[in-house]
Homo-oligomer: A and B are copies of this chain.
Amino acid sequence: MLASKQSGNHSFDLAGYLEEYRAQVDRYLDDVLPSGETHPRVIHRAMRYSVFAGGKRVRPIFALATAQVLERPAEPVLPLAAALELTHTYSLIHDDLPAMDDDDYRRGKPTLHKQFGEGIAVLAGDALLTLAFQHLAAQPEQVEAERRLKVITLLSRAVGTLGGMIAGQAVDLLFQGKPYTAEDLEYIHESKTGALIHASVYCAAVLCQADDQELGELSAFAARVGLAFQVVDDILDVEGSSEEMGKASGKDLEVRKATYPHLFGLSGSKKIATRLVKEAVQHLDFLGPRGQILRELARFISLRRS
C-alpha cells in the first residue's frame, strides 16, 4: 500500500507517508503502553500524556523508512520504533524538569511536571525508559535473540554516557553560560540528539539483516541527518514563533545554551544544515530509486518549520 505511492519524484507524497507512518506508530504505542485505567493509574496516565502529546514520531519513522528502503516488512521493526519513541519521550520529560531546561510548555501543552508534579514526572520518565528496554527484550520472536540483544546494546549506548543522549545533556548543562568551541558544540549535538536518530536508522538496519556495506552507508547517512536535525532545532529556536514550536522561542539564547546560531550565525547554521543533508543523501546512492523515502525525510528535516 505504501509502495504504490512511490510513483515518481514529482508526485511523491511525503505528507501522506508521514501521516500513514505516524498513525501506524501511534496505534502500536497505544498497545504497548498500559491503559490509563491500569493501577497505578497516575503513572500510566502521565506516561500517556507525554507520549501522546503530538510528537512527530521522527525516530520511529526513520526506523520504518529504513525497513522500507531495504525492502523488508515493517513488523519486526515496530518494537524498535516504539522503543525509540518511548526513549525520546523519557528524555524530553526529564529535560523539561526545573533542574534541567525548566520548560513549562512543550508542543503547546503544559509539560508533564506542570501537569502531574515533578515527582511523577521523574518517575514517568524512568518508566518510559524501562518500558523501552522491556519491550525490546520481550518482543515477539520474529527476530532471533542475538539480534535483539544487539539492538538493546545499541539503543542503550545511544542513551548512555559515552557519546549518547545523557552525555550530551550533561555537557550541555555544563556549558550553559560558558565559552565553548565548535568541537564542544558538535559533541553536544551529536550525542544529545544525533545518537538516537542514528540508532533509529542503524538498529532498524540491524533488524533487517542489512549487510556490512548497507550498514556502513546507512550509518554515515544517519550520523549526518542526526546532527542536521539538532542544528535545525537551534535555528528554529531563534526563528520560530512560539506558536509553531509550541514552546518559548529564543530560550536557548536567553539561557545562553551552546547553539549553532550563537557560534555561526543564522545563515551560517543554515548552510551547515544544508551541507549535512546533502552529504547524508549521497550515502544513499547505493539504494538507487529505492532510497527515495529516506532522501525525502532527510530533506524534510532541514526544511521543517517546527
Check if B129 sits within 8 Å of A130, measured CB to CB. Answer: yes
Check if B127 sits within 8 Å of A152, measured CB to CB. Answer: no
Partner of A126, one of B39, B94, B99: B94
Would you list which residues of chain A between 214 and 241 have a CB under 8 Å from chain B? none
How far in angstroms is the closest Cβ of chain B from A168?
A: 9
Check if A126 sits within 8 Å of B123, measured CB to CB. Answer: no
Interface 0/1 of A119-160, CB less than 8 Å to B: 111110111011101100110000011101110110011011
Contact stretch, chosen from A3-11, A41-49, A291-299? A41-49
Q: List the 3 closest A-B pairs by CB distance, nearest first.
A: A99-B118, A134-B156, A145-B145
Q: Interface residues, chain A, CB within 8 Å of chain B?
A: 34, 38-40, 42-44, 47, 90, 94, 97-100, 113, 117-123, 125-127, 129-131, 133-134, 137-138, 144-146, 148-150, 152-153, 156-157, 159-162, 164, 166-167, 169-171, 173-174
Check if B153 sits within 8 Å of A138, measured CB to CB. Answer: yes
Known A97-B122, A137-B149, A137-B153; contact A127-B173, beta-carbon cutoff 8 A: no
Known A134-B156, A137-B156, A156-B131; contact A170-B120, beta-carbon cutoff 8 A: yes
How far in angstroms is the closest Cβ of chain B from A282?
A: 30
Check if B134 sits within 8 Å of A153, measured CB to CB. Answer: yes
